């Protein structure tokens, strides 16, 4: 494929390509090479395929992958849904760093960009990982559907801005991919699950605190964390998983349940 062909971007818009995206490329054409991880369960093994992609100042990694799928290789597999960083579906690694493809700008990347699936999760095909083992790590008490609301008789505090909305976790798996402990200890439950457990302690919603603490205190739980804070750096919604794990450790070591045990001995 020549540079001229890449800059022209083809003769027609792709199935999901907008006129705005095409205009973006036309205004400021740039050709970037994507080295995309490929894997099919046909015994052919792993490899990286190179694609030259026309990009503009507003092109995202997801736009670039869609361009490849529509124009060069329809067999390329990747996940996407909301396109605005709300669902967490399009998580992957860009040059070894965890990103949501839909909000990761190609303009911020170099001339050659390596795209890989999330780490520490089984790869199903190409950039698609099996998220079942990610969700299986969560405490059983963690509800799959959570309802948040304000009671009618509640009065929000004046300094509400200082509170952190831990519901911002979109369960994208980026924190687990970035976690150095999960890379070497496959039984480690991981930052997202531990952050969810700490959230349950703050707002139990009918679960027993002792059950949550017993789960978090297991060898594969909170004490397995290496305190690298890579999970918080990777988190796209600032849900602060590493800080939640530290709070969970403090509760395990110095919480009221330990004081009660001392008084009963």
For residues 154 and 41, state if they share a domain: no
Task: Give me the percent of the chain exceeding a pLDDT of 90.
Answer: 65
For residues 59 and 178, state if they share a domain: no
Q: Going by C-beta distance under 8 Å and a sequence separation of 6 or more, which residues neighbour residue 57?
A: 24, 27, 28, 107
For residues 20 and 141, state if they share a domain: no
In angstroms, how far is CA 173 from the centroid of its own chain?
4
Which domain range does residue 148 map to? 132-264
- 247 neighbors 178 (Cβ within 8 angstroms): no
Q: For residue 106, name the pLDDT band (cuts at 50, 70, 90).
A: very high
Q: Write down the pLDDT at residue 139.
A: 80
pLDDT greater at residue 200 or residue 126? 126
Q: Write down the pLDDT at residue 14.
A: 45
Count of domains for the chain: 2
Helix (H, G, I), strand (E, B) or coil at 45: coil
Mean pLDDT of the chain: 84
For residues 144 and 213, state if they share a domain: yes
CATH of the domain at 241: 1.10.1060.10
Enter the tokens of residue 88. 């967490």
Enter the tokens of residue 93. 């690694």
CB atoms closer than 10 angstroms to residue 44 = 9
Instruction: Name the domain boundary from 96, 111, 129.
Output: 129
Q: For residue 264, name the pLDDT band (cuts at 50, 70, 90).
A: very low
For residues 142 and 222, state if they share a domain: yes
For residues 84 and 171, state if they share a domain: no
In degrees, rounded to 5, the angle at the alpha carbon of residue 11 between the alpha carbons of residues 8 and 13 is: 100
For residues 122 and 145, state if they share a domain: no
Instruction: Name the domain boundary from 129, 160, 193.
Output: 129
**117 φ, ψ to 5°?**
-70, 165
For residues 8 and 54, state if they share a domain: yes
For residues 122 and 164, state if they share a domain: no
Instruction: Name the domain boundary from 129, 162, 194.
Output: 129
For residues 40 and 125, state if they share a domain: yes
Q: Write down the pLDDT at residue 19.
A: 52
Q: Write down the pLDDT at residue 57.
A: 94
CA Rg, the chain, in Å? Answer: 22
**160-193 tens-digit pLDDT:** 555 555 568 899 999 999 999 999 998 999 999 9
Enter the tokens of residue 228. 């690298």
For residues 101 and 178, state if they share a domain: no
């Amino acid at each position: 494929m020549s540079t001229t062909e890449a800059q022209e971007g083809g003769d027609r818009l792709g199935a999901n390509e907008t006129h705005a995206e095409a205009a973006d490329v036309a205004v400021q054409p740039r050709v970037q090479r994507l080295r995309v991880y490929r894997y099919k369960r046909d015994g052919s093994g792993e490899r990286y395929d190179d694609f030259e992609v026309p990009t503009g100042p507003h092109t995202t990694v997801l736009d670039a992958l869609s361009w490849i799928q529509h124009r060069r290789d329809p067999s390329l597999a990747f996940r996407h849904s909301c396109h605005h960083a709300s669902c967490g579906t399009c998580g992957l690694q860009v040059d070894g760093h965890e990103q949501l493809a839909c909000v990761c700008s190609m303009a911020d990347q170099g001339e050659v960009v390596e795209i890989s699936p999330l780490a520490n999760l089984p790869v199903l095909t190409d950039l698609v990982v099996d998220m079942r083992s990610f969700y299986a790590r969560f405490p059983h008490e963690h509800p799959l559907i959570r309802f948040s609301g304000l009671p009618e008789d509640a009065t929000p505090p004046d300094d509400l801005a200082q509170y952190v909305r831990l519901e911002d976790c979109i369960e994208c798996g980026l924190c687990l991919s970035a976690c150095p402990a999960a890379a070497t200890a496959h039984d480690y439950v991981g930052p997202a699950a531990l952050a969810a457990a700490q959230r349950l302690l703050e707002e139990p919603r009918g679960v027993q605190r002792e059950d949550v603490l017993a789960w978090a205190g297991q060898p594969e739980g909170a004490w397995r964390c290496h305190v690298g804070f890579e999970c918080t750096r990777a988190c796209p919604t600032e849900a602060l998983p590493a800080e939640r794990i530290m709070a969970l450790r403090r509760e395990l070591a110095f919480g009221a349940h330990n004081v009660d045990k001392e008084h009963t001995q």
